[in-house]
Structure 1
Amino acid sequence: MGVSGCGKSEIGARLAERLGCRHIEGDAYHSRHNIQKMAAGIPLDDADREDWLERLSEELALARKGGAGLVLSCSALKRKYRDLLRQGDPDVVFVHLSGPRSLIEERMRVRPNHFMPVSLLDSQFRDLQPLDASETGVVMDVGLPPDELVKKVLECIDKT
């Protein structure tokens, strides 16, 4: 979880590979309307995100039912979004990829062909509600090299 540009897709894919399980890129589940809205520089609201989060929650439920591991890359910015995802799997562990706005903006500026413009980064940070003590998860520094970050995530997952 985390704001756009924090590295969710890359870290999620690497983590899934290390765990030997499936990776779902949450952006692939957005409706055409949501993608067009974001591409136009208009932030999504809670209503825009509801169907998207429900589809992702269903994927978590299917994986749980099948006894399969799953890594989901998804912003999950607000507590109520994470609560909805937990309906699919109450044991989900959130990994909040966190870092300074300047670093994340720099990464967004150099990533090719992504619909999310840098102009929406501030709205993402405004919506972000960090994990609280009642949520199962860890906060990771996106300034770490990807391999080191994945290693630290795996160490934390082993402890949960």
Structure 2
Amino acid sequence: MGVSGVGKTTVAVLLAERLGLPYAEADDFHPPANIARMRAGIPLDDADRLPWLRALGAWLGDRAADGSGGVITCSALKRGYRDTLRAACPGVHFLHLSGSHELVAARIAGRSGHFMPPSLLDSQYAALEPLGPDERGTVLDVGPPAEQLAAEAAQLLGGRA
């Protein structure tokens, strides 16, 4: 979890490979209308996100039910969004990738081919609600290389996800 540009996809792919688990990119679960809004620089509201979060939760819940586990990327910026995911998969562990606004803005400015424009980064930081003490999860600073973050996450998870 985390704002756009923190490296969720990169770290998640490496973590899934390291743990031998299936991986899903949350952006692939967005309906076309959501992608069009974001491309136009319009932040999604909670009503836009709810069907998307339910689809992600179903993917996680299916993997938990069959015992396979899995790694999925999702901004999961608000506690309520994480609650929706937890409702479908109570054992989910959130890995919050966190970085300074300046670092993340520079990363976003340097990437191409993504529908999330840099202009929406401020709205993501404004919406971000850090993990609560009662939420199962870990915060990692995104300063180190992605390979190091994936190794640390795998160690924290004890080889399971």
TM over 0.5: yes
Aligned to 1:117: 117
Gaps of 5+ in 1: none
Letter in 2 for 1:156: L
Letter in 2 for 1:43: P
Aligned to 2:17: 17
Letter in 2 for 1:116: M
Aligned to 1:66: 66
Question: How far apart are residue 158 of structure 1 and its match?
Answer: 2.0
Question: How far apart are residue 152 of structure 1 and its match?
Answer: 1.2
Cα distance in 1 for partners of 2:83, 2:3 equals: 17
Aligned to 1:148: 148
Cα distance in 2 for partners of 1:70, 1:155 equals: 16
* Cα displacement string for residues 41-97 of structure 1 (whole angstroms, at most 9, x for unaligned residues): 000010000000000011011111111110010000000000000112101100000
Secondary structure of the 1:56 match is helix
Contact 2:93 2:136 in 1 (8 A): yes
Instruction: Figure out how many residues of one structure are paired with residues of the other and give that number.
Output: 160
Contact 2:19 2:159 in 1 (8 A): no
TM-score, structure 2 as length reference:
0.97
Cα distance in 2 for partners of 1:150, 1:61 equals: 22
Letter in 1 for 2:36: Q
Letter in 1 for 2:120: L
Cα distance in 2 for partners of 1:159, 1:137 equals: 15
Q: Moved runs in structure 1, 4+ residues, more than 3 A?
A: none
Letter in 2 for 1:76: A
Question: How far apart are residue 155 of structure 1 and its match?
Answer: 1.9
Structure 1 residues 1-150: aligned runs within 5 Å: 1-150=1-150
Cα distance in 1 for partners of 2:40, 2:16 equals: 32
Cα distance in 2 for partners of 1:159, 1:22 equals: 14
Secondary structure of the 1:97 match is strand
* Cα displacement string for residues 79-116 of structure 1 (whole angstroms, at most 9, x for unaligned residues): 00000001121011000000001110111111110000
Cα distance in 2 for partners of 1:119, 1:146 equals: 24
Cα distance in 1 for partners of 2:109, 2:28 equals: 21
Higher RCO structure (Cα 8 Å, ≥6 apart): 2
Letter in 1 for 2:100: P
% identical equivalent positions? 49
Cα distance in 2 for partners of 1:66, 1:155 equals: 23
